[in-house]
Structure 1
């Protein structure tokens, strides 16, 4: 099948880690509450960490492709900035079309495709999800009005035969807000328990407070080919 030159394609590393057992449905990380402002590592420790990652990458490294999907204003671009080690900003410019950013986690380079969530861009979601290692679907857990629309778009997406079996991580973003739904409510409103043809996980996160961001990265790395 021909693919668009800008579309992500999976890349294989020369060495593969041992396969992980299927998890199907997990919510464990959603119960964690990582401190809003964890202590920052010292400059010396950060330098050694970068040096360690560099030498590790010389002998064993791999790359994976993921897509970040969700309705506009769900926080996809802000989350991507935080995943890449940047600071959260409240004035992020909405993604027009798509953008790509590489995120490094240990020996793994994660190529992240951030797709626009406006209605006119949703038709291209399937094209950019073909061949990826995982899909992140971000919802605004503090905006009940958009969750029903997000559910319909999510169900339409995963029903595509070309995306069969691709693992999905649904993220209920903005749990720092007082009226945000908890993870169990997000699971119910997105009807995630009915999905039985792939692994589906759901975490409650806050890109603003960096809550469960490390758990998201760990989940992604576990899907490395």
Structure 2
């Protein structure tokens, strides 16, 4: 990004609010609702009730308002994922931490083969709130804004 473009982006951020929609998908008990709660409140709870259908939550981080769609991961709800992923800025796939994923995160699910869009893999901990802010920063920077 050139200096002029960076300056214009900074100037826009002073006067314009950015909005983005984000759908969180993943298998049941992957941590989607925990991630939403940590992003929204900064708090973590061990006692989570499985999402039935979906939940939606709006969160403001700086000048960005994020609409988070937390989609149920049970097999009976997976058919609706496509509907909630069509018009969003970002799709986040949440997976439980696996040792093999930790060792080989870039090759997991063929992420390196996706070349027509921005893709990244982050290791986060909702319990310790580690890397959450880094993920939000990346998402905001790489999302297609709905201004």
Q: TM-score, normalised by structure 2?
A: 0.83
Q: Is the partner of 2:23 in helix, strand or coil?
A: strand
Q: After TM superposition, what 4+ stretches of structure 1 lie above 4 angstroms from structure 2?
A: none
**Which sections of structure 2, spanning at least 5 residues, go unmatched?**
1-7
User: Counterpart of 2:23?
Assistant: 67
2:101, 2:108 within 8 Å by CA — same for their partners in 1? no
Separation in 1, partners of 2:49, 2:106: 28
Query: What is the Cα deviation at residue 224 of structure 1?
Result: 4.9
**Distance verdict in 2 for CA 1:194–1:184, change over 3 Å:** farther
Larger deviation, residues 127-136 vs 188-197: 188-197
Aligned partner of 1:32 in structure 2 is none
User: Residue 205 of structure 1: CA displacement?
Assistant: 0.9
Deviation per residue, 1:46-103 (Å, 9 max, x gap): xxxxxxxxxx88x421211110010011100001100113311111111110000011
> Quick one: distance in 2 between partners of 1:199 and 1:62?
19
Please name the residue that 1:212 is paired with.
Answer: 131
RMSD: 1.9
- Structure 1 counterpart SS, 2:120: strand
Q: How does the TM-score come out when normalised to structure 1?
A: 0.55
Query: C-alpha separation between the residues in 2 aligned to 1:137 and 1:181?
Result: 17
- Structure 2 residue 119 is the aligned partner of structure 1 residue 200: yes
Count of residues in correspondence between the two structures? 134
